A and B are shown apart, each in its own frame.
Chain A
Amino acid sequence: AIRMTQSPSSLSASTGDRVTITCRASQGISSYLAWYQQKPGRAPRLLIYGASTLQDGVPSRFSGSGSGTDFTLTISCLQSEDFATYYCQQYYSFPLTFGGGTKVQIK
């Protein structure tokens, strides 16, 4: 199975900050990379797929980049509703695998 490694595992930031989360795949996955947001007690929500394509309804302050093995999720101007846990996922091959998550907390 392809292993997905996210960093950092948690971070503290303030509203208005620019936040970057990285994700590395153990082998090349082209652009078959998705990012999900999960809030406590809720199901995950798809934010970005194809490494950089915004899902419908997702604010433009979210962006993704990368291909091959190295990817990033950037939140350009952190809002209060963005405090959550973020997961990367490869869907290049089965089994689908997720990164360990990055918890974005209020500083």
Chain B
Amino acid sequence: EMQLVESGGGLVQPGGSLRLSCSASGFTFSTYTMHWVRQAPGKGLESVSTIGANGAITYADSVKGRFTISRDNSKNSLYLQMTSLRPEDTAIYYCVKDRYCTTTTCPQDHWGQGILVTVSS
């Protein structure tokens, strides 16, 4: 069974840093594009960052220069280093896996349970 388990969330002051981790199991992690998607309280979904199986990386404009996505295929793990955090970064952060597909880009078929990050003084 495929599983994605996030950790590392919590309360942090504005300007602070936090590192999210996602532990993956039940599939060949190294061969899939992975994403971080967030959802502010009561709001919609926002793609934060993507890292391809080939290491290609993209970021939302709202986090560019502040967040860094990475992966360690030997540990089946995905990370999101967040710095210079702002109150508007407060959200549930989901670790998300691409569905297997034969096109260049794919939809996402497995989501973690999400981890809450709260940025507040």
Chain A interface (Cβ within 8 Å of chain B)? 1, 32, 34, 36, 43-46, 49-50, 55, 87, 89, 91-101
Q: By the criterion CB–CB under 8 Å, are A91 and B106 in contact? A: yes
Chain B interface (Cβ within 8 Å of chain A)? 35, 37, 44-47, 50, 58-61, 94, 99, 101, 103, 105-109, 111-114
Say what secondary structure dominates the interface of chain A: loop
Which residues on B sit within 8 Å (CB–CB) of A34?
107-108
Closest-by-CB residue of B relative to A32 is B105
Q: By the criterion CB–CB under 8 Å, are A101 and B107 in contact? A: no
Q: By the criterion CB–CB under 8 Å, are B58 and A98 in contact? A: no
Closest-by-CB residue of B relative to A100 is B44
Q: Provide the bound-state CA to CA distance between A93 and B109, in Å.
A: 17
The 24 listed contacts between A and B (C-beta, < 8 Å) are: A1-B61, A34-B107, A43-B114, A44-B94, A46-B107, A46-B108, A49-B101, A49-B107, A87-B44, A87-B45, A91-B105, A91-B106, A93-B105, A94-B50, A94-B105, A95-B47, A95-B50, A95-B58, A95-B61, A96-B37, A96-B47, A97-B47, A98-B46, A101-B45
The smallest beta-carbon distance between B109 and chain A, in angstroms, is 5
The smallest beta-carbon distance between B56 and chain A, in angstroms, is 9
Q: Provide the bound-state CA to CA distance between A95 and B58, in Å.
A: 7
Q: Provide the bound-state CA to CA distance between A30 and B114, in Å.
A: 30
The smallest beta-carbon distance between B112 and chain A, in angstroms, is 7
The smallest beta-carbon distance between B20 and chain A, in angstroms, is 15
For the complex of A and B, 7 pairs with smallest distance between CB atoms: A43-B111, A34-B107, A49-B107, A96-B47, A94-B58, A98-B45, A91-B105
Q: Which of B44, B107, B113 has the most CB of A within 10 A?
A: B107
Q: Provide the bound-state CA to CA distance between A45 and B45, in Å.
A: 12
